[in-house]
Amino acid sequence: MREGRDMLKVKSRKKLSEKVAPLQKCSIKVRVNEKDYEAIVEPRLLLVHFLRDVLGLTGTHIGCETSNCGACTVILNGKSVKSCTMFAVQANGSDILTIEGLAKNGKLDPIQEAFWEHHALQCGYCTPGMILSAYALLSRNKNPTEEEIRIGISGNLCRCTGYQNIVKAISSAAEKMRR
């Protein structure tokens, strides 16, 4: 209770809430694939729609739009997140990596290469999200077991491959990256 009373004493209380007054439009700054962007967005705009429709980065796919399939996975400040389950305003000030930012100077990332070599995609719809989940896994675990790989991609559904080749590709990418 004491703490509560102290709070009541805060003189600038009204000012405080003005500083963070609710807004109908928000200005955001994000860094996507090492490029800075600024935009004014409606708070209800989902991050995936911001990436696809505002920035034109359509490599991030929308599979289910209900937080289940992982096709919309991007890397936000180093962590994999489902961009359909986050508002663009929440990403204000963040560093985002989408599938478009993975290849460097025209050279595929080792994970992309491994997906190609191991035939880890058929229709390719799940692939951007799958690769970014693999990227998140390999950035904190350089030598994952098969089980760890399967857990790592458990938030990503693939309706074509049956996962076998995806697991093989991630394992082989890990090996390549360790060399």
Residue 67 or 164: the one with the smaller Cβ distance to ligand FAD is 67
> Are residues 111 and 175 in contact, defined by beta-carbon separation less than 8 angstroms?
no
Q: Which residues bind ligand FES (CB under 6 A)?
A: 62-65, 67-72, 82, 84, 121-126, 158-161
Looking only at the bridges linking them, the beta strands covering 79-82 and 73-76 are antiparallel
Which of 98, 58, 104, 100 has the alpha carbon at shortest distance from 82? 98
Within 117-136, which residues bind another protein (CB under 8 A)?
133, 136
Cβ of residue 28: shortest distance to ligand FAD, in angstroms? 19
Q: Give the type of residue at 116.
A: W
- The token duo for 41 is 């967005």
Site string for ligand FAD, 46-65 (x = CB under 6 A): --------------------
**DSSP 3-state of 131:** helix
35 to 19, 57, 94: CA distances (angstroms): 29, 12, 12
Give the residues lining the site for another protein (CB under 8 A): 1, 3-5, 7-8, 10, 13, 16-17, 19-24, 26, 42-44, 46, 49, 53, 62, 65-67, 70, 73, 79-82, 85-87, 89-90, 92, 133, 136-137, 151-152, 154-156
